[in-house]
Amino acid sequence: MTNKKLIVLLTAVIIYLLPAADFDFSDLVEKQKSSVVNIESTRKVSVSRRTMGGFPEELFREFGFPMPEYDEPRQSQREAVSSGSGFVLSKDGYIVTNYHVVQDADEVAVKFLDRKEFKAKVIGTDELSDIALLKIDSEDLSPVLVGNSEDVEQGDGVIAIGSPYNYDFSVTFGIISAKGRGITSGRGIGDYVPYLQTDAAVNRGNSGGPLFNLDGEVIGINSQIYSRSGGNEGLAFAIPINVALEVVEQLKETGKVSRGYLGVQGGEVSSDFAEAIGMEKPIGALVRSVVPGQAAELSGILAGDVIVAIDNKEIIYFKDLQHTIGRTTPDTTVTARLFREGRYRNVKVKVGQLPTTERDEASQPQPKDPSYPLGLRLRNLTDERDIEDSASGVRVVEVAPNSPAFGQIFEGDIITKITSKNKSFDVGDIEDFIKIVESFDTGEIILIIGTRGGANIFEPVEIE
């Protein structure tokens, strides 16, 4: 065999063997078996059961008997159990997961792959970043290795580990599809998180689980998926670990999170707008209005300004401004570089604090049926001061996690109509909504029609 043929043969062997070596993650995965956990949340929910003349409704439906008048619904409570994922952050018992995994939970349990189980205390939660910090009574845990999400590049390989649909310690592989994604679940979650996007398979139950780089370091926390089917479609979003750790440190110290606030409303800079005002390229956050008395107004920022940098950190999109200011400690002074009247200028800004939006449970109007049909807590539009008296419909105040409407209907949505097949019903108030929903059988699909942020919505929801 000539030297040339030998070289060709050796090259072919190396090319054949390299992919197998590159895609063998067994050692990495093995090291995480005592660090990735299943989170089980239990909460009590109210349910109502209607009877007709003392007989259950199902009896009339099954045998086709004429339906008598409804009795008042009988109220009872049951336990609702939901699950997610998490990981060990420290040897002394701190566990990190998503806020929405433990939201409104009465009890939280942390389960390890070796079947050890601990009752967890919720140290603190942060809805805007979707982070929850838990603590279990143990001093000898195996924490994950924490990486640096600032070093992550588009195209990097990643591994997601979690408990999708309660299949514990499931492993999937993908890449970083994009960085700095700005998304929202409809309740504000995501507005202050520059998400990592990945095509690693992430499903319900993966929430709160770690996203590893190929060095076995956690660089993100799986949080959201975009899906029309409810399952994995290659669009998953993870909270960068650097952002998560900033939140965790505040939760450890005070049990809550403070964020920076500029007090501007705005949007993107189009190419036409950039050309019209004399900017070389269409980048930055366009300020459309400033909130009176807040940091932007006090520092002299005006409507029409384009903010292109904060402390030398480039602002490409409006969401970059939200992310950057949100991660800035309140009362910190930063330098905002902005474009105004044909030239760039620097403005010193003392960053304010993001106003809290604590819910006043006692002041929320309660529907007569406290089970919240489809998992929706509602308010009549006629009860809102800024709505005309003639307005009809209901506004969504809250969406219960893991409810039929979760992921389809969001806080703030206005519902005006429900349709199914050839039937159509106008929703005038909460009582209308309850009666309409209860007229459908379990398993039927209804179409909820209304508006979201001024745009029409048509969302299918299955009756459960």
List the catalytic residues: 100, 130, 207
3-state secondary structure the chain: CCHHHHHHHHHHHHHHHHHHHHCCCHHHHHCCCCCEEEEEEEEEEEEEECEECCEEHHHHHHHCCCCCCCCCCEEEEEEEEEEEEEEECCCCCEEEECHHHHCCCCEEEEECCCCCEEEEEEEEEECCCCEEEEECCCCCCCCCEECCHHHCCCCCEEEEEECHHHCCCEEEEEEEEEEEECCCCCCCCCCCCCEEEECCCCCCCCCCCEEEECCCEEEEEEEEECCCCCCCCCCEEEEEHHHHHHHHHHHHHHCCCCCEECCEEEEECCHHHHHHHCCCCCCCEEEEEECCCCHHHHHCCCCCCEEEEECCEECCCHHHHHHHHHCCCCCCEEEEEEEECCEEEEEEEECEECCCCCCCHHHCCCCCCCCCHHHEEEEEHHHCCCCCCCCCCEEEEEECCCCCCECCECCCCEEEEEEECCEEEECCCHHHHHHHHHCCCCCCEEEEEEEECCEEEEEEEECC
